[in-house]
Structure 1
Amino acid sequence: MRAKLLFAVSAAAFLAACANMDIPGVRGMTDTGSAFDAALHQAYSDLAQAEYDEADWADARYFTNRAKTAAMGQDTGPQPLADRNLPQEGLAEISVARADLMAAFDAGGRDKAPEAAARAQAAFDCWMQELEENIQQEDIDNCRASFYQALALVQAELDQKPMAAAAPMMMPEPMKIYFAFDSAVLGDKAMPVIDGIVEAYEKYDPKMISLTAYADRAGDPMYNDILAKSRVDAVVKALRDHGVSPSRLAISISGEANVPVPTADGVAEKGNRVVTVKFEDGM
């Protein structure tokens, strides 16, 4: 009886969480606002679906409602910092980032670069949401990188000088492509990063794109070197398939040496199953 009661309570909670969360229906709403609002409508719909797929009902509902208001042309701007319980170590950077975003919007960024501006706002809210959870570093990094990339596009359209911390010498922030354990396959979360690299390549014409491949410290060091090489090879192939010249790609295989997240030998740290991407200015 107790088990049945618990199941009933859980089912009721699930149904309540899903109420008023018709993501496909909201995605299909007719846009009545600006081009920025229309792009934001779809960007928030994407975030809502991603959170729904992870069973994060509260944030799925939040982003669904944001998509709905954007479709109606009633967006209220990026989420206020006070709305989230953000960790102290990430608060300073994201505060400056929000100020930079609002400055770009106040300068006309929503009108001059509506799609990039919408991506920047949605990525900022994604960054805040993931930072509040503070349990998936890969997702934090992806949202953060997407924000800086989109903001740089807005600033470039406004002919503003990007903030040094966000895009030094007009180059986008470094990006990271994560992999599953013992895998060199580009997953679904990797492809938006690949798209971002290609967009930065086409927009900023970097002198060089430096790719450094790592592996976690579980397993044999020689095997991890081979695994790291397979990972960067997969990234290079994807970039070449998207039109990036191989002459612009500088490849480094680090394996389990000098990993981004220091660990003891034998530790399977997901933050080290990564290829880092840095852009070098051609000026």
Structure 2
Amino acid sequence: MKKSLNILTALSVAGLLSACVSYDLDMVAAQPGTGNAFTDALHNEYLLLALAEDHEDDWEDAKFFAERAMNAAAGMDFGPQEVKERNIPEANRKELGFARSSVINAIATGRLGPNAGHIARAQAKFDCWLQEQEENTQPEDIAKCRAEFEESMAALMAKAMPAPEPAPAPAPAPAMKMEPRTFVVYFDHDSAMIDQLANVAIANALKEAKATSPKLVLVGGHADTTGNVVYNNALSQRRALAVAKVLMDGGLTAKKMVQTAMFGEDFNAVKTGDNVNNRGNRRVEITLKY
């Protein structure tokens, strides 16, 4: 979070700058909400980020988050920051772009509903992750912002995901229509790392997708029953995002066809009791739909 100051800057000037930021943050905190529940929650989340950056003497980012808090208090709905607006390392851009798309989708479908607070927190935590990734000097701060973003998205998905509806009666299949193909990628316990066997399964799915041009590639993350539900939701989301990244690196584009979903402990392939370590349930299913 900290950014270096010129060592020749006088301490008195630094003190004045800090006092100005603190004064502004006092005014931001006192702003009454004039928008809906979503923008009011955004105001609170960005105010907390501004206070944290001010405490670290990162006045530039404190000002950035304070301005976002003020805009939210005024009822403005402005979305998460664009990845291209920050100097993000090449290796992290695609992952952050995919995460931002998830937030945009959540905002579009649920910001006016009962989960507005979770969506606002996810947006602010994404901006926190983006800001820390740009600095790229404190891995623990990057990991903290990312984890809080993933927890917010997992909590949102746990509340918002409806129960599966009964499958409708199948319509007569058109001639020569291809049936969905599913490829399964397995993971080690409490891990979202892609190992050698996982890469083989993903490569097979990628080869089939390129050969058959499905309309949709659904990447669904799952977890076994060890741990709590919220954590397993987040873990299954990380697994889905990790597999989706490999698919996109291989040539499939998120805009064209790749979608992710997380299911946590739901829909286990192997039926077990609670708190059971089972590799068959630690998986991502890549389904090609035509």
TM-score normalised over the length of structure 2: 0.53
Alignment RMSD, CA only? 3.5
- Displacement of 1:51 after TM fit? 0.6
Residues 119 and 164 (structure 1), Cα distance of their counterparts in 2 relative to 1, 3 Å cut? farther
* Distance in 2 between residues matched to 1:150 and 1:122, nearest whole Å: 10
* Distance in 1 between residues matched to 2:156 and 2:119, nearest whole Å: 6
Q: What secondary structure sits across from 2:76 in the alignment?
A: coil
Residues 14 and 159 (structure 1), Cα distance of their counterparts in 2 relative to 1, 3 Å cut? same
Q: What secondary structure sits across from 2:161 in the alignment?
A: coil
* Distance in 2 between residues matched to 1:141 and 1:16, nearest whole Å: 29
Counterparts in 2 of 1:1-283, with a 5 A limit? 6-8=8-10, 11-12=12-13, 15-16=16-17, 19=20, 22-159=24-161, 168-169=222-223, 171-174=232-235
Q: Which residue type is aligned with residue 26 of structure 1?
A: V
Q: Which has the larger radius of gyration?
A: 2
Residues 129 and 87 (structure 1), Cα distance of their counterparts in 2 relative to 1, 3 Å cut? same
- Displacement of 1:164 after TM fit? 5.3
Q: What's the CA shift string for 1:86-132, capped at 9, x where partnerless?
A: 01111111111011111111112453301101110110000000000
Structure 2, gaps ≥5 residues long: 1-7, 165-217, 224-228, 236-263, 267-273, 284-290
**Contact residue 51 and residue 57 of structure 1 kept, 8 A:** yes
Q: What secondary structure sits across from 2:35 in the alignment?
A: coil
Q: What secondary structure sits across from 1:112 in the alignment?
A: coil
Q: Which residue type is aligned with residue 73 of structure 1?
A: G
Structure 1, gaps ≥5 residues long: 1-5, 175-203, 207-246, 251-279
* Distance in 2 between residues matched to 1:147 and 1:104, nearest whole Å: 13
Q: Which residue type is aligned with residue 168 of structure 1?
A: H
Q: What secondary structure sits across from 1:111 in the alignment?
A: coil
Q: What's the CA shift string for 1:23-49, capped at 9, x where partnerless?
A: 122112100001111111111111001
* Distance in 2 between residues matched to 1:168 and 1:126, nearest whole Å: 27
Residues 73 and 135 (structure 1), Cα distance of their counterparts in 2 relative to 1, 3 Å cut? same
**Contact residue 26 and residue 64 of structure 1 kept, 8 A:** yes
Q: What's the CA shift string for 1:198-243, capped at 9, x where partnerless?
A: xxxxxx889xxxxxxxxxxxxxxxxxxxxxxxxxxxxxxxxxxxxx
Q: What secondary structure sits across from 1:55 in the alignment?
A: coil
Residues 19 and 249 (structure 1), Cα distance of their counterparts in 2 relative to 1, 3 Å cut? farther
**Contact residue 110 and residue 118 of structure 1 kept, 8 A:** no
**Contact residue 31 and residue 72 of structure 1 kept, 8 A:** yes
* Distance in 1 between residues matched to 2:76 and 2:103, nearest whole Å: 18
Q: What's the CA shift string for 1:168-208, capped at 9, x where partnerless?
A: 3573335xxxxxxxxxxxxxxxxxxxxxxxxxxxxx889xx
* Distance in 1 between residues matched to 2:155 and 2:111, nearest whole Å: 10
**Contact residue 115 and residue 156 of structure 2 kept, 8 A:** yes
Q: What secondary structure sits across from 1:172 in the alignment?
A: helix
* Distance in 1 between residues matched to 2:94 and 2:159, nearest whole Å: 26
Structure 1 equivalent of residue 169 of structure 2 = none
* Distance in 2 between residues matched to 1:30 and 1:108, nearest whole Å: 23
**Contact residue 38 and residue 120 of structure 2 kept, 8 A:** yes
Q: How many residue pairs align between the two structures? A: 180
Residues 51 and 20 (structure 1), Cα distance of their counterparts in 2 relative to 1, 3 Å cut? closer
% identical equivalent positions: 37
* Distance in 1 between residues matched to 2:40 and 2:16, nearest whole Å: 29
Residues 7 and 100 (structure 1), Cα distance of their counterparts in 2 relative to 1, 3 Å cut? closer
- Displacement of 1:158 after TM fit? 3.2
**Contact residue 52 and residue 60 of structure 1 kept, 8 A:** yes
* Distance in 1 between residues matched to 2:89 and 2:112, nearest whole Å: 29
* Distance in 1 between residues matched to 2:111 and 2:77, nearest whole Å: 15
